[in-house]
A = this chain, B = another copy of it.
Amino acid sequence: MKKSYNNGVEATLGVISGKWKPQLLCYLGQRPQRTCDLRQNLPAISQKVLTQQLRELERDGIISRQISGDRAPFKVTYALTELGHSLGEILVQMSLWGEQRANQVPDMEVTHDHEGFTQLLQNS
Contacts and interface: CB of A to CB of B under 8 A. Distances in A.
Nearest to A5: B110
B97 A8 contact: yes
A56 interface: no
A25 to B, nearest CB: 8
Interface stretch (A30-38, A47-55, A98-106): A98-106
Interface residues of A, number: 45
A100 to B, nearest CB: 8
Contact of A2 (B2, B10, B16, B109): B109
Interface in A67-97: 83, 86-87, 89-91, 93-97
Contact of A108 (B3, B17, B109): B3
